[in-house]
Structure 1
């Protein structure tokens, strides 16, 4: 379980200009992709006009309170947030072995991975507070999923990866990408996808003519935005969320 006081501090600092008067509602959202049941989470403020829709792809441990917390933070900032599910409603991962099995199955079957991502994007049109403009973000495994969706040609207004898995799989490239901007928030000491991986993917984006940017946090390791992680860096977590809001303001 993540440390709620740290989450509250991060949220308060990042959302100070937005929180006044916010009446956010959050609830599960059931949908189907290719005949399979999935359950995400939607947060929005029904009392205000949405600034745009943000899809959040969960980490390798599946849909948890962390994604719900991020969805509510975005809703308090004026966005409609949809934390999507790519494991399925029946999945209930309970530990590292389950996390590896579920994420590994999608890494090993990119067609299914893309089908679930694209199906979730289609389902987003039906969520409460949905808007035409949408951006996809993700943390860790979710960050890798964001890049998968971008390479698959998802027709969104932007893509944001937080400490995600960065390498482009063999046989893939950016030729089908929509051309929407891609943003990275990454730690320079990330042992999962190092700074060299970031350089390579940014070179690929240059070659493909896709707008992109990166904010690098010196010394930060993997999962620096996750309060339950030993890698958590509160300052970097707050700053990267503020950077996300800036990106959303430009993209939506």
Structure 2
């Protein structure tokens, strides 16, 4: 089922796609005055957090459309499989963290779905991801997809997939990290830096002080668990991302 909404010049639509082994549901956003089959635009895929593709991911896709890209919020859980943004979504995320090869296959399926859209310039693709989606963005870089020019990990998880020797990473990598994030402590940050350096990646990591996990999520308010919205860090991270995407996709 396809649902399409148009507001001023921005169009949003939900379209099913084959997510490797699951039927998935992608959320698209684009400016109809800029993106067309005659004038395809670069695509920025949005990787969801552990609760699955929710309104926050739709809002991020809309932001990408405002920036002139085609925004595509992927779905690595499958159609109708959604969690609770404020709850414990371990049952959803755990199987994919335990099988990173399966996760990679679902991520690559999402990229193929994006490239197949006639509104998309298939040679210019980027990925942004949040929390679990930040891990997914890094996994896309590790998968070495030539069309993916850059990936951005917002308060992501850093552990490598351990899927064999890592070939050189060709996507530019931007990591936006809260230094006080308990899910990615300083030693994990240093390990990621070494990993990206050994993979010959063009990488940068911005660590924001006095900043915890989920710092871009306005609803994050569990400081006792290390989750807290930090508006200054969020603002800086988005500004850095906008410049990074311009560099990657121009």
Q: Does 1:217 align with 2:214?
A: no
- Structure 1 residue corresponding to 2:43, chosen from 37, 53, 56: 53
Say which structure, 1 or 2, has more relative contact order (CA 8 Å, 6+ apart).
1
Q: Which has the higher strand share?
A: 2
- For the 8 Å contact 2:19–2:78, the answer to whether it is kept is no
- Structure 2 residue corresponding to 1:131, chosen from 121, 126, 136: 121
What does residue range 1-252 of structure 1 map to in structure 2 within 5 Å?
23-34=9-20, 36-49=22-35, 51-94=41-84, 99-127=89-117, 129-132=119-122, 133-155=124-146, 156-169=148-161, 171-172=162-163, 175-230=166-221, 231-252=228-249
Task: State the alpha-carbon separation in 1 of the partners of residues 81 and 248 from structure 2.
Answer: 33
Cα pair distance change 1:151/1:37, threshold 3 Å? same
1:58 positional shift: 0.4
1:128 positional shift: 5.8
Question: What TM-score, normalized by structure 1, do the two folds share?
Answer: 0.85
CA offset digits 1:67-120 (Å, max 9, x no partner): 001111111111111000000003132477761111111011112101100001
Task: State the alpha-carbon separation in 2 of the partners of residues 143 and 212 from structure 1.
Answer: 14
- For the 8 Å contact 1:152–1:177, the answer to whether it is kept is no
Unmatched 5+ residue regions in structure 2? 1-7, 222-227
What RMSD, in angstroms, separates the aligned Cα atoms of the two structures? 2.0
- For the 8 Å contact 2:44–2:128, the answer to whether it is kept is yes
